[in-house]
Chain A
Amino acid sequence: MPSLEACVEVHDVHKSFKRGSEVLDVLNGLNLTVNQGEFVALMGPSGSGKTTLLNLIAGLDRPTTGSIRVRGEEISSMSEGQLASWRTRSLGFVFQFYHLLPVLSAFRNVELPLLLLPLSGSQRREQVRNALDIVGLSDRMWHRPGQLSGGQQQRVGIARAIVTDPALIVADEPTGDLDAKSADEILNLLVELKNSLDKTIVMVTHDPRAAERADRLVHLEKGRLATQ
């Protein structure tokens, strides 16, 4: 069971985008709390605002109004530099299309976030090996993404997300580009991360089977929470 300490607190968040002269309101006064160690799935139709919400929680964008706190830190008021540093230390991001750097081996891809931290070469190597061990890819660490299957690439993506030991992992349709078997493996891995490492996971998905693996399902509709 997840602990009851709040990890993510989204309070009265509005987000609008300008498209020419038109203002598009994507999130309208949204409130959401995700507890430490909780696995939350965000679902909703296209245009409901779930990826926008994910980007706000990940500090990739700022709300028009409202506040977002992650483990007590008010990220919506952080500067660009503070946000970048916060992302390195406190956040792991898993992309739908993996977004590994094709010229780098699995090891180097996983090592990328560690380059931004004051760690020695041996410390970096140890952390990368641990992360690749967790996702079961120690034997493929010197393979480039092109030499790995989709499921393996996503596991490298997850290793990159956890290598700095962040409290929060956000995943944007992590199984959207995978076959059913690989998708299942990835979901098992996310659940394992939550259970054994007490990671908080916020996952956007269109797949009801993926959503079933989460502790809680949150539906968004027209920028508001429909059900929790």
Chain B
Amino acid sequence: MTTLAEIAKRLLESGKVKCVLGYEKGTLPLRSRPVFIRKPEDASKLIFDSFCENNLATYLPKRAEKTAVVAKGCDARSIVALAKEKQIAKENLYVIGVVCGGVVDKKKIEDMLGQEPILSAEDKGDSITVTTRKGSKEFKKSEVLRENCAVCEFKTPVAYDELVGEKIEEGKFPDKYQAVSQFETQPSEKRWEKFVGESAKCIRCYACRQACPMCYCPRCFVDESAPKWIDTGQDESDVQIFQLVRALHLAGRCTDCGACVSACPMGVDIRNLLQRLEKSVLDKFGHRVGVSPDEPMPLTAYTLEDKLDTVIE
């Protein structure tokens, strides 16, 4: 079975692409990080494991070079969405799909270890072994999966030029939105409390926005000064507007890749808003982002058949 390194080497040597965008081993335990490979001899750096938390599609909008990109299921869906929004030139892109068993939630592991500094971590496939100064501990991967990965129905990417890994049986999660539905039955004071509490953690570092492939606006609304939509400080309502409006801008576009959650240094529960919007779009339009290459994006395309009542409740 061809490995990522072999594919990359072949693509670079043949000149089919100028660079291969993938993951390499990071300098921290539980981290694999993005890497741009341009020389065939560097192709051996490419890996794929349970620590590949970034969505590489974020580097693709307006990319001029012929690029091959390693894409997990969620990332591949982002690529489909970006192509529909005309942000990538398909002829310049070669998608190397990877079958993905999910990414671990490093914050969960750190919590389970009582914040004891982690010296090293090993991905054993079904389990992760983590070593601290106090010794080693093995976690079942299913116990420490990132929240979005735990309910992922696209372990095999929907669209690719070449696939690495054996296709595995997709999990079906009919209760995927159960937590969302339950949350929505709560009285509005409780829901507001949750929203205020999460927004209070936000420090406006914009890691979420920069990590997200669908946030590609040349000038984000938070940076606009005329008109100045919100101030740039830590005023409560300004931060809340940022969180809320960013989520709304992602309605019908977010593929629940989890890159924002992993990027956020403060542990803001961004998915609380995004998942509710995802469910709403599914209910109203029957649309799952980036799955079909032909279906138009639900909130940017309008047909006479569209319901005219409000989209988001």
Binding partners A and B: no
A residues near B (Cβ < 8 Å) are: none
